[in-house]
Structure 1
Amino acid sequence: MSTVHPVIAEVTARIAARSAETRSAYLARIAAAHAEGPARRGMACSNLAHGFAGFSGGDRDVLRAARKPGVAIVSSYNDMLSAHQPMHEYPDWLRVAVREAGGVAQFAGGVPAMCDGITQGRAGMELSLFSREVIAMSTGVALSHEMFDAALLLGVCDKIVPGLLIGALAFGHLPAILVPAGPMSSGLPNKEKARVRQLYAEGKATREDLLDAEAASYHSPGTCTFYGTANSNQIVVEVMGLHLPGTTFVPPGTPLRRALTEQAGRRAVEISRGEEYTPIGAVVDEKAIVNGVVALLATGGSTNHTMHLPAIAAAAGIQLTWDDFAELSAVVPTLAHVYPNGSADINHFHAAGGVQFVIGTLLDAGLLHPDVRTVAGPGLDRYREEAVLADGSLTWRPGAGESVDRDVLRPASDPFAPDGGLRMVEGNLGRAVIKVSAVAPERRLVRAPARVFTTQEQFAEAFAAGELDRDVVVVIRNQGPMANGMPELHGLTPALGVLMDRGHQVALLTDGRMSGASGKVPAAIQLTPEAAAGGPLARIADGDVVHLDADAGELEVLVDAEELAGRELRDGPPDEASWTGTGRELFAPLRRAVGPADQGASVFGGVTPGHFGVPAVPGA
């Protein structure tokens, strides 16, 4: 087995040292919460009776006796979201599987799941990032009944998986397994979809043309097949050891998908106690967090995880920073070209060797920690194996040792690029994230006058009027978490792509998000400090020259420092009275409590000491 790369080891050691007190306090807390045997056996009779009143037969007897493991099912099922629609059958399958393994499963609670694809460019998108916190709290409510010895977390998409994990880590003494649904089958090729979107932006395609293309792309149950946040979630959590091996990209509606779901139920019972007891708070340690970051970088995954992974880490008492991402990105090669970083979709990636090949080649290159705990047992080597049905029985066999398609997936010895797809840029405007996987090298340096907007609608009007047909850095400010909940802005991409194709230098600068759908346009996003917090972004004026160099990590506005500091703050965020409608007023307290993007954009305290009641580190 290869020695772990020195930078991987150094970054992990630095995270562990930085997190020593917060992590130690977290582990002490979950150790104190653990009781050998079902927690419910310590309940008063009235409490316990409420917990099994709705059950009958053998499951009622098991719950009453309080001797066998109880397993919570927490689900994000709804039938509006294609990615979660297949989960409507899962609870029935899981109850049977858990019963067969000697436990009893209860549907403990549902969590909300919203689709950024539906809310994109609409007011509802301003609730999207905050929905992660609601999901975390909803998971906490579901598990707070203390009837359980393990949990099954059913979720796939954007904020849902991070929210489930954050909530479950608050009950870190419980073993927990994430149960996905798999991707939809391949539809209209992503390049063709992007082509029609750009034609529509230019007025060269009708709404019917666009709707036909979109409906041919998003056409059945399952996760969208481009490599956005949902599919990034799945790769990251499997590499972190939170899925069963080989689970991630098995399609819904197949016998193998059902077999893996049922095995997750059986496995939850097995790891709930005794020698195989595997609490989620022990699985999600410093090494697992670094493995998750490496998987994200190696596959060119979603920029949203530069916020989600720090928030997940913080929930386990671990302090992960953007500097850690940057240092890891410098040594982790890009192994995958999946749309928008290439023409392939996630099914092509899976067929080329998928997660198992990625894990194998990264382990062989020393770029992943092999000595971790997982829900499948000790060590990450098990995750080289792919799941198959042999004579109707679930088993595992060695995954692909070679990529089947090197245009989609390559080994660490022959990558698409020697470094990862995410970069950090910084300068007198603060710090931002930029995804360069799909940005041509000659497009990564832009120096052009700014044109400043505070809404996507203002930008669209200026584009339609021909005001942006030149070299330009489009600035969209007051889109951060404190301002309006940090909506995704990748609806801007088609118009920006048009400007770029006309031969102009073009970049986007924003304190908002662009998601995993960030494409060929260089986009410095999630800028912190955000404009609503008084960051320098709030002082940029039309015509100021902005310098963005993704390769050198530079982001500057070329304005004298004294002049910039002396300018009044412009274009304040929406006030409470105007941030209403589509439920936004319900989320106003979260706007006031949220932390900065580089600390996870969390209302729970980000990665700073004091998170979840953990004491602060002296001198930190």
Structure 2
Amino acid sequence: MVSLHPTIAEVTERIRARSRDGRAAYLARIDAAAGQGPHRATLSCGNLAHGFAACGPADKEALRDGRAPNLGIVTAYNDMLSAHQPFERFPFLIKNAARNAGATAQVAGGVPAMCDGVTQGRAGMELSLFSRDVIALSTAVALSHDMFDAALYLGVCDKIVPGLLIGALSFGHLPAIFVPAGPMPSGIPNDEKSRVRQRYAEGKATREELLEAESASYHSPGTCTFYGTANSNQMLMEIMGLHLPGASFVNPNTPLRDALTAEAARRAAAITALGTDYRPVGRLVDERAIVNGVVGLHATGGSTNHLLHIVAIAAAAGIELRLEDFDALSSVVPLLARVYPNGSADVNHFHAAGGLAFMIGELLDAGLLHGDVETVAGPGLARYRVEARLDEAGGLVHVPAPGRSAALSVLRPVAEPFRADGGLRVLRGNLGTGAIKVSAVPDDRQVVEAPCRIFSEQGEVKHAFEQGELDRDVVVVVRFQGPQANGMPELHQLTPTLGVLQKRGHRVALVTDGRMSGASGQVPAAIHVSPEAACGGPLARLRDGDVVRVDAVAGTLEAMVDAAVFEAREAATADLASHHAGMGRELFDLFRRVAGPATRGASAFDASAT
């Protein structure tokens, strides 16, 4: 048996020790809920009649009897978003599979699903992060009818899977299986799309050329194929044992995807408290599963948004995860994948090269994952060292993972990684605490020291660039972008502009209390800086021309200003009124007021919020 790497063991034990009281209280709560037995049997006749009034005769009879599992479907379906459009067919597939397994299934409710790709740079983006907490609340409403013995969660993208899981953990006594839709087939190469974006930023490509490139990239139902937050979510659910093995990256509307969806329903029916293999999600998501998720994030070069999301997910299960845990794990987990924006390949190429089955096997063999976790598929993460296939009769089967990568330019073994660490660093200094992802940043750009230029809006950066004001070594500071300021929008629109400056040979970095997206790439970016400027954080004391040092090697984020002078400065303020109304933003005032800091997941459920 492979020994667990000492750092993995040490970090896990540290998390377990600091979480002991919170985790114990959480488990006591879900055990009490489980101890009440199948809740449908406790409903009054009027309650139950309301609950099955719309069902067909066979389902109604099964629900009246109360002895067969009833599965709740919580869906993020809408047909504007490519990633979620395939879910239109899933309730039909799930209900049929449930009936064949002697169970029933009902759509318990829907949750909102917004797309950061549509709202980038728009007012709607300021609702994006808080939509995670709205989704968690919506999930709780969906399950509050007490009609279900397990739940299936249909979601893919950025805030949606984390929100669904936070909501699922509030019903931690119920088994939960996450059911993905899969990525769209590959479009134009990601490098080509990036080139057109940068040419457009320089005024060398027309809007028509840009739209043509974007349309050729985002072209059909399914998840966007770059390795952003959406596909990081799918990796996370699989490596945490909440997907069926091999489910993450199978394309939508294919026989294999349909077979995986049907099998998810059958498996959910098999793991309820009514049977002999009860697997409540609150027990599955423990300290080991959380550490496995962080390891997967590092090994794949995943989205920086999960510095927020995994922290919030862990908190929902009574577990306290900190940024220093990410940092410690990154130091020993090698980067095994190069998927855009950390490479030129997309997730379809990653999957074809061996995908998660190969990667999980490699990490298990190196002692970098907890193999003894419980999963929805059964005990042990080794169950995920397999690929999903269809046999000659069209039935779902699992075959062992390949023994080697089919494309070493995309996926590598632990013995030959792209880099020895996960490429994520925590930054600390007189400007606060933040993080930087360097897996795609050239080695000679991981330390940038230059005069800063300060902005309070990302549109101001683009204007300054167009006026030639940034054509030099510069640290671009975009402040008043934190959760309490304006909901912490992604600043992904800055990527092409800053990328152009870097390609011109300038030493460039970004410092912000906002977010970049899962598509953050080759420009060094110190993000999630906390405390945020709107709460009087140190970024508010910076002045134009101050020299700022972003040092991903030493892990520091410093204003090179005399300490006494810096501390004596009055914190700048910003008029944020225009960000607090319009496009529904006035409805989120409560979320802004109670949001916790980025270091704690920027959650509206954070009791420590200022």
Provide the TM-score with structure 2 as the length reference.
0.98
Residue in structure 2 matched with residue 362 of structure 1 by the alignment: 363
Alpha-carbon contact 2:70-2:150 (below 8 Å) kept: yes
What's the offset of the Cα at 1:573? 5.2
- What pairs up with 1:230-241 in 2 under 5 angstroms? 230-241=230-241
Alpha-carbon contact 1:37-1:69 (below 8 Å) kept: no
| Higher deviation after alignment, 563-572 or 402-411 | 563-572
Name the SS for the 1:517 alignment partner: coil
In the alignment, residue 555 of structure 1 is paired with which amino acid?
A: L
- C-alpha distance in 1 between matches for 2:423 and 2:234: 18
What's the offset of the Cα at 1:578? 5.2
- C-alpha distance in 2 between matches for 1:190 and 1:580: 36
> Would the alpha carbon gap of residues 406 and 416 (structure 1) be closer, same or farther in structure 2, given more than 3 Å must change?
same
Count of residue correspondences: 607
- What pairs up with 1:360-439 in 2 under 5 angstroms? 360-391=361-392, 392-439=394-441
- C-alpha distance in 2 between matches for 1:205 and 1:44: 66
What's the offset of the Cα at 1:421? 2.2
Tell me the alpha carbon deviations over residues 199-252 of structure 1, each in whole angstroms, 9 at most, x when there is no partner.
000000000000000000000000000000000000011000000000000000
Residue in structure 2 matched with residue 332 of structure 1 by the alignment: 333
Alpha-carbon contact 2:432-2:538 (below 8 Å) kept: yes
What's the offset of the Cα at 1:2? 1.2
- C-alpha distance in 2 between matches for 1:346 and 1:52: 41
What's the offset of the Cα at 1:552? 1.1
> Would the alpha carbon gap of residues 162 and 573 (structure 1) be closer, same or farther in structure 2, given more than 3 Å must change?
farther
2:218 maps to 1:218: yes
Name the SS for the 2:518 alignment partner: helix
Tell me the alpha carbon deviations over residues 94-144 of structure 1, each in whole angstroms, 9 at most, x when there is no partner.
001111111110100000000000000000000000000000000000001
| Higher deviation after alignment, 56-65 or 298-307 | 56-65
Alpha-carbon contact 1:182-1:252 (below 8 Å) kept: yes
What's the offset of the Cα at 1:275? 2.2
What's the offset of the Cα at 1:294? 0.1
Alpha-carbon contact 1:426-1:553 (below 8 Å) kept: yes
- Which segments of 5 or more consecutive residues in structure 1 lack a partner in the other structure? 611-620
What's the offset of the Cα at 1:35? 4.2
Residue in structure 1 matched with residue 605 of structure 2 by the alignment: 604
What's the offset of the Cα at 1:457? 1.1
Tell me the alpha carbon deviations over residues 58-88 of structure 1, each in whole angstroms, 9 at most, x when there is no partner.
1001111111111100000000000000010
Q: 4+ runs of 1 displaced by more than 3 Å?
A: none
Alpha-carbon contact 1:484-1:573 (below 8 Å) kept: no
In the alignment, residue 481 of structure 2 is paired with which amino acid?
A: Q
Alpha-carbon contact 2:127-2:588 (below 8 Å) kept: yes
- C-alpha distance in 2 between matches for 1:49 and 1:85: 32
2:110 maps to 1:105: no
Residue in structure 1 matched with residue 66 of structure 2 by the alignment: 66
What's the offset of the Cα at 1:595? 0.1
Provide the TM-score with structure 1 as the length reference.
0.97
Residue in structure 1 matched with residue 476 of structure 2 by the alignment: 474
What's the offset of the Cα at 1:37? 5.0
Name the SS for the 2:506 alignment partner: coil
2:593 maps to 1:592: yes
Residue in structure 2 matched with residue 255 of structure 1 by the alignment: 255
What's the offset of the Cα at 1:325? 0.2
In the alignment, residue 113 of structure 2 is paired with which amino acid?
A: A
In the alignment, residue 166 of structure 1 is paired with which amino acid?
A: I
What's the offset of the Cα at 1:568? 1.5
Name the SS for the 2:327 alignment partner: helix
- What pairs up with 1:62-461 in 2 under 5 angstroms? 62-273=62-273, 274-391=275-392, 392-461=394-463
Name the SS for the 2:476 alignment partner: strand
What's the offset of the Cα at 1:571? 3.2
- What pairs up with 1:442-591 in 2 under 5 angstroms? 442-572=444-574, 574-575=576-577, 579-591=580-592
What's the offset of the Cα at 1:53? 1.3
- C-alpha distance in 2 between matches for 1:87 and 1:507: 40
> Would the alpha carbon gap of residues 472 and 73 (structure 1) be closer, same or farther in structure 2, given more than 3 Å must change?
same
- C-alpha distance in 2 between matches for 1:451 and 1:246: 47
- Which segments of 5 or more consecutive residues in structure 2 lack a partner in the other structure? none
Tell me the alpha carbon deviations over residues 32-74 of structure 1, each in whole angstroms, 9 at most, x when there is no partner.
0014753110111111111111113110011111111111000
Name the SS for the 2:493 alignment partner: helix
- C-alpha distance in 2 between matches for 1:416 and 1:186: 23
In the alignment, residue 99 of structure 1 is paired with which amino acid?
A: R
In the alignment, residue 502 of structure 1 is paired with which amino acid?
A: R
Tell me the alpha carbon deviations over residues 448-494 of structure 1, each in whole angstroms, 9 at most, x when there is no partner.
00000000111111110000111100000000000000000011011
Name the SS for the 1:490 alignment partner: coil
- C-alpha distance in 2 between matches for 1:311 and 1:459: 31
Name the SS for the 1:158 alignment partner: coil
Alpha-carbon contact 1:37-1:68 (below 8 Å) kept: no
Name the SS for the 1:449 alignment partner: strand
- C-alpha distance in 2 between matches for 1:211 and 1:546: 36
